[in-house]
Structure 1
Amino acid sequence: MVSRALIFYYRDGCHLCEDMWHQLREMQEQRPFEVQLQNIDSDPELKLLYGSLIPVLAVGKQVICNYYLDPIAVEKHLDGLALNA
């Protein structure tokens, strides 16, 4: 079964992260989907992988978008999951 969960990689005090998070929450009001929060500063490996790219929205190891929310890419991902459900 394919996970519907998106992973939102962020760090505290990141204004781009706050902006993307608010936009994701607005999208969830229109179309429910799961988002797992992951603070990159809690894991040295994540900090190394995503430290200069945050915020990052991903599914597994596949990056959907970073720096700014790409609502079209998110919708395409969610549409793909709906087709496979």
Structure 2
Amino acid sequence: MADLTLYGRSYCHLCEDMKIALEPLRRDFSFVLHEVDVDGDAATEARFGERVPVLTTGTPAGAGDELCHYFLDVPRVRAWLAAQAISQYGSP
């Protein structure tokens, strides 16, 4: 199963929009969505500042690649999830 991490803030409407926009992808792909409130840790807040939401690959503990920020890049996220499914199962 693929891991994605959404960095955001509880009061951020763009963060909520990105989370909602990810849900339709669950019809085609299995993934775990980890949510991190950037205001919960000084280092994370310094890393992202006002640049949220940010969606990355991997878990919060891993150093994942950024897939998109501010708005969900559906084609890019879909392509990444498909690649993960192929590498894990041989087909999406």
TM-score class, shorter-chain normalisation, is 0.7 to 0.9
Structure 1-normalised TM-score?
Answer: 0.87
Distance in 2 between the 1:4 and 1:32 partners? 7
Distance in 1 between the 2:27 and 2:8 partners? 21
User: 1:31 corresponds to which residue?
Assistant: 29
User: 2:43 corresponds to which residue?
Assistant: 45
CA-to-aligned-CA distance 1:20-71 (integer Å, 9 cap, x gap):
1111123224433111111111111111111221000001331000000001
Output the aligned Cα RMSD.
1.5
Percent of aligned positions that are identical? 30
User: 2:72 corresponds to which residue?
Assistant: 69
Q: Which residue identity does 2:75 align to in structure 1?
A: I
1:80 alignment partner, one of 79, 83, 86: 83
* Structure 2 residues not aligned, in runs of 5+: 58-62
SS in 2 for 1:36: strand
Q: Which residue identity does 2:84 align to in structure 1?
A: L
Structure 2-normalised TM-score?
Answer: 0.81
User: 1:54 corresponds to which residue?
Assistant: 52
Contact 2:4 2:32 in 1 (8 A): yes
Greater than 6 Å deviation, 4+ residue runs: none
* Structure 1 residues not aligned, in runs of 5+: none
